Amino acid sequence: MKTIGYAAHSAGADLVPYNFDRRDLRPNDVAIEILYCGVCHSDLHTLHGDWGPQPYPLIPGHEIVGRVMEVGPQVTEFKVGQNVAVGCMVDSCQDCDQCAKSEEQYCRNGMTPTYGAPDRITGEITQGGYSKNIVVRKEFVVNVPDSLDLSKAAPILCAGITTYVPLKRWNVGKETRVGVIGLGGLGHMAVKLAVAMGAEVTVISRSMKKETEAKELGANGILSSSDAAAMKKAASSFDFILDTVPVKHDFNTYLPLLDVDGSLVVVGQVGPMEEIMTPGLIFGRHRIAGSLIGGIKETQEVLDFCAQHNILPVCEMIPMEKINQAWKELTTSNPAHRYVIDMSSLRLE
């Protein structure tokens, strides 16, 4: 299938139009016309080479919402015209214990990311959702509930599932005292989801400038991490803290905020952190843990949860041609919304 996307041809380069071929449908494949694709911080990190060399030219994008164009002969779960979505993975071994538990993100043989990895059969490099079409194995396609606004649903496929899974796994619920560090693309979804679960939510940020946005999302307010007096007063006031900050920072700032047996779970930074002082863990039986997206079953679950509770990301819609401008904005700030690309202007050249 001939199609077009926006690709980087080297580390840090601008994205430019790139014509390429998607594979022919295998018997268990779904071909999708991409309508919208969310923009994630990990797109920047990957294509800038922050996480190592990449197989350029490379098209990013793993928050994909679209419509089924064609299905292979073994596909009965989806039909032409159906609204569907694809997240951060497009394949896994399907044979190991983790895949059997619907935890494909932890596949013992390595899951296949939506972009930048070899296809498990042909070895060709997967290309992501900043494009007009995609072909995906049926097991990695999920249904988009009819009540969700397609133009705003895409970020649920990464920002939504990444924050939903730890909230669920750490049993966040009614009256759980939750802190969310950072109010960007991940953080604002964490607030909305935790509030829907019944938690008492506070945003933890370097300043108070996003207080209005935090309250509009349902949080009680903001705790400024640069206000020493406020931080001291807030000691032992959280059962669970979700850390969404995507750059190197210091856990020691936040550990005193946890109550006894509290957990701080990292979903933002992938890379080095400041040295941890163990008294912050020992004197309080605190935990620092990490969490990686979610499996396909939980991805469907979070879409259904968002539909049930009328949860949608705060989105700024952009045409494909404005992607480099949006990336520059993300490198200099952490807006309390998610950019979403409208693919309607993308045409084969």
CATH number at residue 274: 3.40.50.720
Pair 277, 336 in one domain: no
pLDDT at position 332, please? 81
Phi, psi of 185 (to 5 degrees): -60, -45
Structural domain of 28: 2-158+314-345
| One-letter identity of residue 294 | G
Instruction: Compute the distance between CA of residue 76 and CA of residue 86 in angstroms, rounded to an integer.
Output: 17
Euclidean distance between CA atoms 324 and 50, whole angstroms: 17
In this structure, the answer to whether residues 8 and 19 fall within a common structural domain is yes
11 exposure class (CB count in 10 Å sphere: 0-12, 13-18, 19+): middle
Q: How many helices (H) and strands (E) does the chain have?
A: 10, 17
- Decide if 330 is inside a domain: yes
Specify whether the CB–CB gap between 41 and 185 falls below 8 A: yes
Position 196 scores a pLDDT of: 98
**What is the enclosing helix (H) or strand (E) of 261?**
strand 258-266
Per-residue confidence (pLDDT) for residue 349, from 0 to 100: 66
List b or e across 40-51, with b for residues whose CB sees 16 or more CB atoms inside 10 angstroms. Answer: bbbbbbbbeeee
Residue 109 and residue 247 share a domain: no
Q: Give a yes or no: residue 182 inside a domain.
A: yes
Does residue 209 fall inside a structural domain? yes
pLDDT at res. 212: 94
Is 236 part of any domain?
yes
Residues 148 and 307: beta-carbon distance below 8 Å: yes
Q: Are residues 112 and 179 in the same domain?
A: no
Q: Other CB atoms closer than 10 Å to residue 302's CB: what's the count?
A: 25
Do 149 and 44 sit in the same domain of this protein? yes
User: Could you tell me which residues are beta bridge partners of residue 91?
Assistant: 112
9 and 131 fall within a common domain: yes
- Is 119 contained in some domain? yes
CATH number of the domain encompassing residue 64: 3.90.180.10
Are 44 and 116 found together in one domain? Answer: yes
Instruction: Please report whether residue 298 resides in a domain.
Output: no
For helices 159-169 and 185-196, give the axis angle rounded to 10 degrees.
40
Specify whether 177 is located in the same domain as 139: no
Whether 225 and 130 map to the same domain: the answer is no
Burial label, 200 (beta-carbon count in 10 A; 0-12, 13-18, 19+): middle
Q: Is residue 224 domain-shared with residue 320, that is, in the same domain?
A: no
Residue 284 lies in a domain: yes
Tell me if residue 45 falls in helix, strand or coil. Answer: helix
Relative to beta strand 338-342, strand 29-38 is: antiparallel
* 165 and 154 within one domain: no
CA–CA separation, 67 vs 104, rounded Å?
Answer: 24
- As averages over each run of 10 residues, the pLDDT of the chain (349 residues) reads 96 95 97 97 89 94 98 97 98 98 98 97 97 98 97 96 98 97 94 98 95 95 97 98 93 97 95 92 96 97 97 94 93 81 86
Residues 8, 106 within the same domain: yes
Query: What total number of domains does the chain contain?
Result: 2
Helix axes 185-196, 296-309, angle to 10 degrees: 70
**CA atoms of 231 and 215, how far apart (whole Å):** 19
Domain assignment present for residue 241? The answer is yes
Going by C-alpha positions, the residue among 186, 175, 141, 159 that lies closest to residue 28 is 141
